[in-house]
Amino acid sequence: MKQETIKYTLRLPPKLKRRLEKLAKERGISQAQYLCSLISGKPSEAMPPTAFWDAMHELYQIQDMLRREGKTEEARQLERSIVALQSAFILEPEQEVP
């Protein structure tokens, strides 16, 4: 169920506008979502860099290779490590805000 929202116009100096755009983009969320996270007292963290996602992709490929070779226990152990890494670097999805 979507929350009711109200349109709100905000005037910012150009320097602050650029900073808001940059901070929201770093977190992979809209500017409205970023402002809502600050107002709610739960500021959103920056998204992990591309290198993190590249490493995750490579780890999943290694896990798949282990499974194909019949090394299921090693694959499960690697999966637990991958999940722990992701939990440490990725927050829960933001509440849906337009």
Residue 1's pLDDT is what?
56
**In the chain, what are the domain boundaries?**
10-46, 48-92
Chain-wide mean pLDDT for the chain? 83
88 vs 13, more confident: 13
Q: Which tops the pLDDT comparison, 55 or 42?
A: 55
* pLDDT at residue 69, rounded to an integer: 95
Does the pLDDT value for residue 57 go beyond 50?
Answer: yes
Q: What is the pTM of this model?
A: 0.51
Q: What's the mean pLDDT in 22-44?
A: 86
Distance of alpha carbon 40 from alpha carbon 44, whole angstroms: 10
Half-sphere exposure of 28 (CA within 13 A, CB side): 11
